[in-house]
Amino acid sequence: YLKEIDKYGIFDYIKTSIDELFSKLGQSISPMINKTVTQLISLTSNLINFVLGSIISVYILKDKEYFANNLNKLTYAIFPVEKADSVTEMFKEIKKAFSKFLVGKLLDSFIIGILCFIGCIIMRVRYALLISLIVGITNMIPYFGPFIGMIPAAIITVFYSPFKALWVTIFIFLLQQFDGLYLGPKILGIQVGLKPFWIILSILIGGGFFGVWGMLFAVPTAAVIRILLGKYIDKQFKQKGISR
């Protein structure tokens, strides 16, 4: 009976169709796998760079007076006194801008953690405090932070309620959008003296050119540029006798 059917080439047709199907699946899946692996490698690399950079930053902050004094001595050794005074003043402005940015970012992350805790309590999510702490702390990390905080929150919740884990993920995602588009720029803008528009624009430009570190330093850098540009304009107006 099977030999009779095989006369019409049905088995060959089925075999060919299966081979073509697996071939097409392989062609479709291969780019997806390559893209996923590339993104994972990029994410891991950025996280490692961020962690290493954070460790270095901690050591620099620990000995900040030592570095500041040596930099001050080097400045006066290289430049004339008048020029050295200007450079020293510029470094003070940079230090002030970065300090205000750090305070603003800490305040922003604290508020996000509180809002996350309130939302989790309303949704009756277990381990609400732990989830909120994770979300608040990871919010300090630019760009990847919100997504990093979302993953453990979803994992913690999915063990006892997959449906609730979905709602927690959506809630945290919306909370981070609110933070990225409104709350964060508003708080940082007040701290460093920039409008929310310039905050968002500086982060986009910094991230586009320098990745994660560009995003991290974009706002304080923009604040320093604003201060220096303002002083330059005031100086030019004064020299030309123009009142603002």
Average pLDDT over residues 28-32: 63
Please enumerate in sequence order all residues whose Cβ is within 8 A of that of 199, keeping only pairs 6 or more positions apart, or say none.
184, 185, 188, 189, 219, 222
Q: Which of 30-34, 35-39, 67-71, 228-232 has the lowest mean pLDDT?
A: 30-34
Q: What is the DSSP string of 60-90?
A: HHHTHHHHHHHHHHHHHHHS-HHHHHHHHHH
- Dump pLDDT digits (tens) for 148-157: 888 888 888 8
Residue 183: pLDDT above 80? yes
CB atoms within 10 A of CB 137: 14
Report the pLDDT value the prediction gives residue 2, as an integer from 0 to 100.
Answer: 46
Residue 4: pLDDT above 60? no
Average pLDDT over residues 223-239: 83
In the chain, what percentage of residues exceed pLDDT 70? 76
Report the pLDDT value the prediction gives residue 197, as an integer from 0 to 100.
Answer: 85
**Rounded-to-integer distance, Cα 153 and Cα 150, Å:** 5
CA dist 31 to 40, 81, 89, 169, Å? Answer: 14, 61, 53, 28
Q: Buried b / exposed e across 158-180, counting CB within 10 Å, b at 16+? A: eeeeeebbeebbebbeebbeebb
User: Smallest Cα–Cα separation from 193: which of 185, 205, 181, 204?
Assistant: 185
Q: Which amino acid is at 232?
A: Y
**93 secondary structure, DSSP code:** H
Residue 121: pLDDT above 90? yes
- Dump pLDDT digits (tens) for 195-226: 888 888 888 888 788 777 787 788 888 888 88
> Helix %, strand %, coil % for the chain, to 5?
90, 0, 10
pTM of this prediction? 0.65
Report the pLDDT value the prediction gives residue 25, as an integer from 0 to 100.
Answer: 64
- Dump pLDDT digits (tens) for 59-116: 766 777 777 788 788 888 888 888 888 888 888 888 888 888 888 888 999 999 999 9
Residue 27: pLDDT above 70? no
Report the pLDDT value the prediction gives residue 221, as an integer from 0 to 100.
Answer: 86
Q: Are 177 and 147 in contact (CB under 8 A)?
A: no
**Rounded-to-integer distance, Cα 110 and Cα 191, Å:** 15
